[in-house]
């Protein structure tokens, strides 16, 4: 109402959108303008919401993803119609694969033009249907308050994920009197409270076990259950392994945590998960990068599977006890009556595996190895930095050799494996947590996929530290070529054969964007260069030339089991 004239206030649809975002507590959006989104950007002017302009819509999508991962809040990304919307697809799919809550708002051609192949028209609703929790094509601005509130509720509730809102231009320009008070909670598919029978079933399974093992995933972090999990591990005295997305829920140095398992996980973690007699699976989904062939994974174990998404139960691996619930509630109930046992023989066996299969590498004293870079970075930062990776060998080295301590500390594209994720996701993380050190550990191939976001880093004054482990190759694929294809290079070499130095010159490119940078070629230069980067007040790029000889080990070949592990 207009307080002076006691008249209803008329607002454009675009203005209603921005007001709804403010009422959701949104203070930052990643948005790229265009003809079908111009009204949204006009409405953002003077709204109090900070707009970060990426240099590519995919960069904006990954930035919103990184914002949501590190903060636990719903990220917001906007783009225009047509190519603006299609450029979001990889980012939307990444959020879907890793259960990240982001609301994507796209402009669309006018309602009367939909279906007529109008300029920059695209059916983004149809395109995104397999990779979202829900989507809305809005035809009446009066519906916007309900739709936007629903979108945020859906994105954050249950198993988090992306939601798309498609806004035709005429709806953005439509004048109406919005009713912001009519929102009804839709009460999505929220699992019922922890059932006492389920709790007793788990406790009975534990009581009958001599070799129990916990396998937890990103659901622990999404549900905020890290403290409950730690209490459970300690009070029941049960060792734990995690998926890659579970990293950080329990500190690496915790004596009961065997770190992460799977294709490039610790061998002793793989042995523990596969040779236990009870696998307590909490907020994990038996991903193929964890199990290899699921038919040969944990074959002697009774399996308890607790997940908030009912579709995950029995999808990849049969569960003897399958429970749809919030893992935080389940653990809280289990912690009321701990069953502490010593499991002396079991821990002796795990200790033997640790000694037989340590997580280490051959130290080549005269060269810069990527493992050494990560170890030194961990030491110099005391393990306190938020680490954001691209995808490839550097991603695995970062997860293996950085000493992670807390939830939402490792931000990485797990399920989709999206190259180009690192730099823009680091932008989003730093925007959400300006007081934390944010370091993008990337590869030269992955970094180039969204290298244009250096412009955003500089213009938005985001003091991100960027470490490129530069081996002039698409390292992970080259590793597979070395191991399984006789070393033949099928378009995995990135260096310029005509150049007398590594290509491209990342340091010069960074300086072109106004970002300080340095190259590192020798081991003697490494520590001083890392310290210079960490001590710099703003953003800084460090291009570290590592060579391409190092392989990520251990490695379980795709589809094989833990006994086929390659260790050298």
**Can you spell out the DSSP letters for 357-375?**
S-S-----TTS--HHHHHH
The three-state (H, E, C) secondary structure of 328-344, written as one string: HHHHHHHCCCCCCCCCH
The catalytic site residues sit at: 57, 119-120, 169, 476
Are 323 and 330 spatial neighbours (Cβ–Cβ below 8 Å)?
yes
Give SS3 for 147.
helix
Are 160 and 190 spatial neighbours (Cβ–Cβ below 8 Å)?
no
Are 545 and 507 spatial neighbours (Cβ–Cβ below 8 Å)?
no
The secondary structure element, H or E, covering residue 233 is helix 226-236
- Render the burial of 80-109: b for 16+ CB within 10 Å, e for the rest: bbbebbbbbbbbbbbbbbbbbbbbbbbbbb
Helices and strands in the chain, H and E counts: 23, 20
Backbone angles phi, psi at 305, to 5 degrees: -125, 115
* Token duo for residue 404: 């992670």
The residues facing 138 across adjacent strands are: none
Give SS3 for 127.
helix
Eight-state DSSP code of residue 136:
E
Handedness of CA 50, 51, 54, 60 (dihedral sign): positive
**Can you spell out the DSSP letters for 429-489?**
HHHH-TTS-EEEEEEHHHHHTTGGGHHHHHHTT---EEEEEE-SB-HHHHHHHHHHSTT--
Interhelix angle for 144-156 vs 13-23, to 10°?
Answer: 40
Give SS3 for 523.
helix
The three-state (H, E, C) secondary structure of 173-223, written as one string: HCEECCCCCCCCCCCCCCCCCCCHHHHHHHHHHHHCCCCEEEEECHHHHHC
Spatial separation of the C-alpha atoms in residues 248 and 66, rounded to whole Å: 16
Q: What is the largest CA-CA distance in the chain?
A: 80
């Amino acid at each position: 109402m207009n307080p002076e004239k006691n008249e209803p206030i008329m607002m454009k649809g675009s203005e209603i959108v921005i007001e709804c975002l403010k009422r959701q507590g949104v203070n930052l959006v990643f948005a790229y303008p265009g003809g079908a989104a111009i009204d949204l950007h006009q409405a953002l002017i003077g709204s109090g919401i900070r707009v970060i302009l990426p240099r590519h819509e995919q960069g904006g999508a990954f930035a919103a993803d990184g914002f949501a991962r590190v903060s636990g809040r719903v990220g917001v990304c906007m783009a225009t119609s047509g190519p603006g919307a299609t450029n979001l697809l990889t980012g939307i799919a990444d959020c879907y694969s890793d259960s990240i809550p982001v609301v994507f708002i796209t402009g669309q051609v006018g309602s009367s033009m939909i279906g007529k192949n109008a300029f920059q028209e695209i059916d983004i609703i149809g395109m995104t249907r397999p990779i979202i929790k829900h989507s809305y094509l809005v035809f009446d601005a009066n519906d916007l308050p309900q739709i936007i509130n629903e979108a945020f509720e859906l994105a954050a509730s249950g198993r988090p994920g992306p939601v798309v809102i498609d806004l035709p231009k005429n709806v953005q320009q439509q004048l109406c009197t919005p009713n912001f008070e009519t929102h009804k909670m839709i009460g999505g598919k929220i699992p019922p409270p922890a059932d006492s029978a389920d709790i007793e079933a788990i406790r009975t399974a534990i009581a009958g076990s001599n070799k129990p093992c916990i396998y937890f995933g990103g659901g622990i972090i999404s549900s905020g259950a890290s403290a409950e999990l730690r209490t459970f591990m300690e009070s029941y005295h049960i060792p734990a392994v995690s998926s890659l997305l579970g990293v950080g829920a329990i500190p690496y140095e915790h004596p009961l945590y065997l770190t992460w398992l799977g294709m490039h996980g610790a061998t002793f973690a793989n042995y523990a998960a596969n040779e236990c007699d009870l696998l307590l699976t909490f907020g994990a989904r038996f991903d193929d990068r964890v199990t290899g062939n699921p038919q040969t994974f944990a074959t002697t174990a009774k399996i308890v599977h607790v997940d908030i998404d009912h579709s995950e139960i029995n999808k990849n691996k049969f569960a003897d006890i399958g429970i749809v619930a919030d893992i935080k509630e389940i653990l809280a109930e289990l912690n009321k009556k701990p069953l502490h046992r010593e499991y002396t023989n079991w821990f002796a066996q795990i200790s033997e595996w640790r000694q037989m299969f340590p997580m280490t590498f051959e130290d080549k004293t005269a060269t810069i190895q990527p493992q050494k870079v990560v170890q030194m970075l961990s030491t110099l930062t005391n393990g306190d930095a938020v680490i954001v990776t691209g995808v490839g060998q550097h991603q695995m080295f970062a997860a293996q050799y950085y000493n992670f301590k807390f939830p939402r500390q490792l931000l990485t594209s797990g399920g989709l494996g999206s190259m180009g994720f690192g730099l823009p996701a680091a932008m989003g993380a730093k925007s959400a947590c300006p007081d934390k050190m944010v370091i993008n550990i990337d590869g030269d191939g992955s970094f180039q996929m969204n290298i244009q976001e250096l412009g955003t880093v500089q213009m938005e004054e985001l003091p991100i530290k960027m470490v490129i482990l530069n081996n002039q190759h698409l390292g992970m694929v080259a590793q597979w070529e070395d191991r399984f294809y006789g070393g033949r290079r099928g378009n995995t070499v990135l260096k310029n054969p005509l150049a007398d130095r590594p290509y491209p010159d990342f340091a010069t490119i960074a300086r072109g964007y106004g970002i300080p940078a340095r190259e590192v070629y020798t081991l003697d230069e490494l520590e001083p260069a890392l310290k210079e980067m960490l001590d710099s007040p703003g953003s800084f790029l460090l291009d570290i030339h590592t060579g391409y000889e190092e392989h990520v080990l251990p490695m379980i070949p795709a589809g094989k089991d833990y006994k086929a592990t390659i260790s050298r």
